[in-house]
A and B are shown apart, each in its own frame.
Chain A
Amino acid sequence: MAPAEQTVASHPLDELLRADRLPHIWCPGCGLGPIMNCYVQAMAASAIPINQHVVVSGIGCTGRVPGYIKIDSFHTTHGRSIPFATGLKLANPELEVTVFSGDGDLFAIGGNHILHATRRNLDLNIICVNNFNYGMTGGQLGPTTPKGARTSTTPQGNPEDALNLVALMGSLGAVYVARWSALHVRQLEQSMARAFQKKGLTFIEVLAPCPTGFGRPNELGEGLDEMHLYQEECIVDDHADLRDCGIDLRSHKPLVLGNFIDIERATYGEWET
């Protein structure tokens, strides 16, 4: 049987997916599929009724995730998922609001919003899929592109330093900070479940292969090769010093994953009387 004929008629999570919109738009080897699957599994397993789950995104490949999930889903403008989510959450605190977006959307064009939402400690879950470049527009420099890496707008190599997302979010006071990869699906799903339980702003960074935009110009191979790289080079250290947890996939230094921060802090509007 040819591979094209091996498609299945249904998926166990069809109830929570917009099956009428599949197949999705992502490239072969992209990490978004397993990450979206983790979110849907975690949501289905959560004690929160499905109708209370809401997902919000900005623009980019990750921004397309809400369009495939059959819950209230909002695909906003570039960088603005967090303020939109802020409006939803403050207007109806019963909603379990998750922002699902990319590194460029959340930390470049939307950088100001993540800074202030975290400072406020709004009760939001932020899942940031980090593929080290702008994938949707064809592989340009992003705020997480490692120094020296090649992208279509840094053909001589990136002259800028990259943001270390987990260190930044820890410094801003996020009550939960974790990092996993598209390969670490069990840990990622558990992290998402923990984020649903937490009050306050939670942050999960997920490393994801982008063979088309970042893998090819940086000689990381196909998506599967990058998954092998995660398998070989990721270490789990919940107590790592986040300042030392910057990432350069080309460096062959350990990629540190873990549930780094899990603390309590008064949320927006709560104070001691």
Chain B
Amino acid sequence: MIQAAQAPTVLTGSHFMNGDIACAEGALAAGCTFFAGYPITPSTEVMEHLARRLPETGGRFIQMEDELASMNCILGAAWAGKRSMTATSGPGFSLMQENIGLGMLTETPCVVVNVMRGGPSTGLPTLIGQADVMQAKWGSHGDYEAIAYVPSSPQEMFDLTVKAFNAAEIYRQPVFVLGDEAVGHLTERVVIPEASAIQRLERRRPAFAPGEGRIYEVANGDIAPPMPIAGEGYAIHMTGLTHDTRGYPVTSAEVHDALVRRLRDKIQLNADKIMEWEEYRLDDAGVCVISFGSSARSARHAINIARESGLSAGLMRLITVWPFPGAEIARLSDRVRAFVVAEANLGQIATQVERFTSRPVIGVHHGGGEMLRPDQILAAIREVA
């Protein structure tokens, strides 16, 4: 049997590491003790790193036979009380959609990392893409709300993975980290704080004794129901069928509608607490560039060049794409002339932006395979500045 050594779970200090490894270390720092996955470029380093680090810190790691199994395996581990994670890329993310839906309906906390590459299908396995944004929102069937973080540096691969674990506990659902190949494979400085400085929200447990309450009952003021763990005597019934507050299957339009609305509302009504973005030179800008992930690095450079030539452009760098900060874009519309949306896909965020503004929205798009270049974004700024 593999003996669990006691290596530190939080590697406090300043490191030079790539985004995938930073993501894996972020998971450990957040208290992840279970990983199931299937190798796929460009996310494999997350898995390889955890294959070594989880056993040495007392956690469990398993390589599954495919991504369908990986996703379901982490749901099972979550119901046994673990903070669990998987990591993949586009083709694997497609296979995971089935059981992401199960996680949404059964309210199972876990983290799914998708280091995006060029798609559809096998696409460009080794090169960057940012085209899974809409898949993260709508990939599984039915109505549900996604939470998706979009790191733009190895440091954020660490920081946002920690946040994703905490969001999964608060909102009780699978939470996504959408990295991209450039950020996953980029090696930079990553500063890991002291363990005591890393926020770790514990899973909320039922306040009632086994047999004395309903496991899916949401108390007034609560965001999601507290979660029982297998083996404690709660006689949990978890089902992917529409269920009542006991967890029992119910075939009823009324119960279904109420359940789906509750799942939607727990995210929508708390969107302000989840959404994050960073503003750069935006205060006095006439043109707002919206970007995320590795593309935001090029956008920042383009804005600096634009400013040097007297063009007043600023950046709204998305840190979460879901929930989408539509209200903020509507507010920005009162003071900017136009938006430029820079993304390595053919317009997934641009069409979202268009929903919230009547200002011109200029897309700087690329199907994937290379990072957007600053000059491409600068040309779009010049067009509307």
A and B found bound together? yes
Cross-chain contact A70 with B235 (CB below 8 angstroms): yes
Interface string of A63-81 (1 = CB under 8 A from B): 0001100111111110110
A72-B34 contact given A85-B76, A87-B74, A113-B65, CB 8 Å threshold: no
Would you call A217 an interface residue if the criterion is a C-beta within 8 Å of the partner chain's C-beta atoms?
A: no
Stretch in A90-98, A185-193, A236-244 touching the partner: A90-98
A72-B234 contact given A21-B248, A77-B240, A91-B81, CB 8 Å threshold: yes
- Residues of the A chain whose Cβ atoms lie less than 8 Å from the Cβ of B2: 269
Cross-chain contact A72 with B231 (CB below 8 angstroms): yes
A154 to chain B, nearest CB (A): 26
Main secondary structure of the interface of B (DSSP, over half): mixed
Interface members, chain B 221-265 (any A CB < 8 Å): 230-241, 248-249
Residue among B62, B98, B232, B234 facing the most chain A CB atoms (10 A cut-off): B62
Interface members, chain A 127-173 (any B CB < 8 Å): none
- Residues of the B chain whose Cβ atoms lie less than 8 Å from the Cβ of A115: 65
Q: Which of A18, A51, A80, A88 contacts B79 (CB 8 A)?
A: A88
Cross-chain contact A51 with B231 (CB below 8 angstroms): yes
Q: Which of B36, B230, B234 contacts A95 (CB 8 A)?
A: B230
Would you call A32 an interface residue if the criterion is a C-beta within 8 Å of the partner chain's C-beta atoms?
A: no
Would you call A116 an interface residue if the criterion is a C-beta within 8 Å of the partner chain's C-beta atoms?
A: yes
- Residues of the B chain whose Cβ atoms lie less than 8 Å from the Cβ of A83: 36, 64, 68-73, 76
* A89-B2 Cα distance, complex, nearest whole Å: 16
Q: How many residues of B contact A (CB 8 A)?
A: 43
Cross-chain contact A112 with B66 (CB below 8 angstroms): yes
Cross-chain contact A72 with B236 (CB below 8 angstroms): yes
Cross-chain contact A92 with B237 (CB below 8 angstroms): no
Would you call A219 an interface residue if the criterion is a C-beta within 8 Å of the partner chain's C-beta atoms?
A: no
Q: Which of A66, A70, A84, A269 contacts B1 (CB 8 A)?
A: A269
Cross-chain contact B235 with A71 (CB below 8 angstroms): yes
Q: Which of A21, A71, A74, A86 contacts B238 (CB 8 A)?
A: A74
A84-B76 contact given A76-B240, A77-B102, CB 8 Å threshold: yes
B147 to chain A, nearest CB (A): 21
Cross-chain contact A87 with B72 (CB below 8 angstroms): yes
Would you call B161 an interface residue if the criterion is a C-beta within 8 Å of the partner chain's C-beta atoms?
A: no
Cross-chain contact B99 with A66 (CB below 8 angstroms): no
A63 to chain B, nearest CB (A): 9
Would you call B75 an interface residue if the criterion is a C-beta within 8 Å of the partner chain's C-beta atoms?
A: yes
* A83-B36 Cα distance, complex, nearest whole Å: 10
A92-B235 contact given A76-B102, A87-B72, A87-B74, CB 8 Å threshold: no
Cross-chain contact A113 with B69 (CB below 8 angstroms): yes
- Residues of the B chain whose Cβ atoms lie less than 8 Å from the Cβ of A18: 235, 237, 248
Q: Which of B60, B99, B248, B249 contacts A91 (CB 8 A)?
A: B60
Would you call A5 an interface residue if the criterion is a C-beta within 8 Å of the partner chain's C-beta atoms?
A: no
Would you call A52 an interface residue if the criterion is a C-beta within 8 Å of the partner chain's C-beta atoms?
A: yes
- Residues of the B chain whose Cβ atoms lie less than 8 Å from the Cβ of A66: 237
Interface members, chain B 1-60 (any A CB < 8 Å): 1-2, 34, 36, 60
* A63-B64 Cα distance, complex, nearest whole Å: 23
- Besides the contacts A76-B72, A92-B230, what 15 more A-B pairs have beta carbons closer than 8 Å? A18-B237, A51-B233, A74-B236, A74-B237, A74-B238, A77-B99, A80-B72, A84-B72, A87-B77, A91-B77, A92-B231, A94-B231, A112-B65, A112-B69, A113-B69
Sample of 23 A–B contacts (CB below 8 Å)? A66-B237, A71-B235, A72-B236, A73-B236, A74-B236, A75-B240, A79-B68, A80-B68, A80-B69, A80-B99, A82-B69, A83-B69, A83-B76, A87-B36, A87-B84, A88-B77, A88-B80, A90-B60, A90-B62, A91-B81, A91-B82, A116-B64, A269-B1
